[in-house]
Structure 1
Amino acid sequence: MNEIEGFLDRPDGARLAWRKVEGAGPTVVWLGGFKSDMTGTKAEALADWAKARGRASVRFDYFGHGASTGEFAEGTITRWRADTLAVLDAIAPGPVVLVGSSMGGWIACLATLAAPERVTAMVLVAPAPDFTEKLMGPEIPPEGRAALAADGVWMRPSEYGEPYPITQALLDDGARWSILGDQPIPIEVPVRILQGGEDPDVPWRHALELAHALKSDDVVFTLVKDGDHRLSRPQDIARLIAAVEEVA
C-alpha cells in the first residue's frame, strides 16, 4: 500500500503538508508534538504499520512545523487545534483514532471535545495537556520573563537542537484551552496512555492526572519506568503499535 501526499490550503493562505495511506478504517491520525514533524520515528512506524496491515492512516505537519508553511513563532494552540480539525474534515473523513504525542496529546483531547462523533479512540504518548501553563510557564527563568515582557518572545534552550521561540501570545492562548481542572474531561472513548518514568519534559504524574480526569472508564495508563520523553526505542514502538491495534 503506497502513501500519497499533498498540501491542504487554509483560508489565510497557509498550506499544511500531509501524507495518507488508503486502507480500512477507522483512520489512524498522527498528531505530533511541539516543534516536531511527521517524519519522526513514531510517525514513520505508524505509517509503515498501516501499509503492512492495509489500514488507513494520516499524518501531517501543523502550521509552522516541518513541511507546512508559516512561521513557528506565529503558532498557537488555537491555530494547531484548527489545523487538526481541518485535516480531519478534508483528509481523514469518517471515524478516526487519534494518536497524539506530547503536545499532540493535548491537541487530540481538544479535537475529541470538538468532534466527539468522529473520534472512536485515542492513544497518547507522554501527553502534555495545559503544558504552556502548567509545565512550561513555571520553568521560565527570570531572563526569559524579562525577554517576554520586553519583546514578547523568549528563545528557549532545547536539549533536542537549537533554541526555539516561546511567545507571550502562545502562553496567553494556551490558557484558553486548559482542560485539567476541577471537572472531569467529557471524553468517553477508549484511551491508552504510554508514559516514560524518566521523562524530563512531561512528569509521569502530569500524564496520570489526565488519565484520572478523563470521564471514560476505558482508560489504561502504562508507565514505562525507564522510558524517556520520546519513547521511540524498538520496545516503545512495539507498545505503541499494540495500543493502536487494541483500540483500532
Structure 2
Amino acid sequence: MSDHHRTETGRHIAYDRLEGKGPGIVFLGGFKSDKEGTKALALEDWARTRGRAFLRFDYSGHGLSSGDFMDGAIGDWFDDALSAILALTEGPQILVGSSMGGWISLLLARDYPEKVAGLVTVAAAPDFTESLWSEMTEPERHEMMEKGRLERPSDYSPEPYVFTRRLIEEGRERLIFDRPLDLAMPVRMLQGTADADVPVDVAMRLLNHMSGPDIRLTLVKGADHRFSTPDCLRLIEATVLKVGNRAA
C-alpha cells in the first residue's frame, strides 16, 4: 500500500519507496500517467534485486495523489517532484524521466543540480505545451481560450486527453528551450524512432540545445512512445546502471 507525502502547499503525494544504497533512483512519469506504469514497476524490480534505493510517485491529480488533474500544470507537478525528492531521498539521485517526466527531470537538473547525480530521459517531451499550441488550428485555439480547455483523442486511453488553458499558459514559465541548458552530470537520452508523440526531431533538438561533458542520445529503431517492450526496459535498466557507475 502506498504512503503519502504532504507537500508545503498541502497536496498529498502518493509514493512507493525502497530503501537501499545510492545513488538512489527516482522515476518521474508522464502526462496523465501514474506510478503503476510498466516502466516504473520494472525499474523498481530491477532496483530491488540490486539493493538500490528507489522512489516512484504520483503527481497531484494523478493516480492515488490528491487533487484534480484538470487543475494541474507543469509548475505544480515540478513542485510535487521537488518536494518528494527533498523529503524522501538522501543525497543526489539518478532521475529517470519519461515523456513529460523528462521535461520535469530536466528542470530539476537545471535548477537543483546538487540533487541530481545523473539523468536518464525516455522519450522526453520538453516544452510539449508550446508544441501543442503551435499545432492547434485557429478554431482549436479559440475554443481553448473561450472554454479554458480542449479535448483530443488519446492513443493510451478510451477517454480523450484534456488540455487546459492554464496548462499552456503556465507551461511558458517552465520552458527548457528558452535559455541555455548546461548539465554537469551524466545525461543519457533514450528515444524510439517510431514515436508518434515525441518525434526524433525533438530529441535531436534537445541534444543540440544541451551542453555538458557527458551527454549521449540513443535511438532505438522501431520503438514507440511507450518504450516498454522487454528490450526497451532492459535498455533503460542498463542505462541507469551505466549512469550510476559514472556518477559514483
Pairwise TM-score range, normalised by the shorter structure? over 0.9
* 1:94-124 residue CA offsets vs partner (Å, 9 max, x unmatched): 1100000001111001111221111010000
Q: What secondary structure, in the 3-state scheme, does the structure 2 residue paired with 1:25 have?
A: strand
Instruction: Indicate yes or no: 2:105 matched with 1:108.
Output: yes
* TM-score, normalised with respect to structure 2: 0.94
The equivalent residue for 2:82 is: 85
Give the corresponding residue for 1:244. 240
Q: Structure 1 length as normaliser, TM-score?
A: 0.94
CA distance in 2, matches of 1:203, 1:7: 35
Structure 1 residues 131-150: aligned runs within 5 Å: 131-134=128-131, 136-150=132-146
Amino acid at match of 2:169: D
Distance verdict in 2 for CA 1:48–1:219, change over 3 Å: same
C-alpha distance in 2, partners of 1:212/1:102?
18
Q: How many residues align?
A: 243
Structure 1 residue runs of 4 or more that deviate by more than 6 Å after TM superposition: none
Aligned to 2:127: 130
CA RMSD after TM alignment: 1.3
Offset, 1:234: 0.3
**In 2, are the aligned partners of 1:9 and 1:16 still within 8 Å (CA)?**
yes
- Between the aligned partners of 1:180 and 1:13, the Cα distance in structure 2 is 31
Determine which of 65, 69, 83 is the counterpart of 1:68: 65
Which deviates the most, 112-121 or 27-36?
Answer: 112-121
C-alpha contact (below 8 Å) 1:7/1:18 kept by paired residues = yes
1:55 Cα deviation (Å)? 0.5
Per the alignment, residue 34 of structure 1 pairs with: 31
- Structure 1 distance, partners of 2:118, 2:143, is 41
The percentage of counterpart residues that share the same residue type is 44
Can you list the C-alpha shifts for 1:197-247, whole angstroms capped at 9, x where unaligned? 010100111012111211112111111111100110000001100000001
8 Å CA contact retained: 2:187, 2:214: yes
Cα shift readout 1:59-107 (whole Å, capped 9, x = no counterpart)? 0000101111111011111101111110111111211000000011110
Equivalent positions of 1:181-196 (< 5 A) are: 181=178, 183-196=179-192
Structure 1 portions without partners, runs of 5+:
none
Q: Matches of residues 148-227 of structure 1 in structure 2 within 5 Å?
A: 148-161=144-157, 162-181=159-178, 183-227=179-223
In structure 2, the partner of 1:16 is: 13
How far 1:126 moved relative to its partner?
Answer: 0.5
Give 3-state SS (helix, strand or coil) of 1:50's partner: helix
SS of 1:177's equivalent in the other structure is coil
Mark the runs of 5 or more structure 2 residues left unpaired by the alignment: none
User: Which deviates the most, 108-117 or 138-147?
Assistant: 138-147
Deviations 1:158-193 (A, max 9, x none): 111111221111101111111114x53021210111
Amino acid at match of 2:119: M
- Cα deviation for residue 142 of structure 1 reads 4.1
**Shift in Å, 1:143:** 4.2
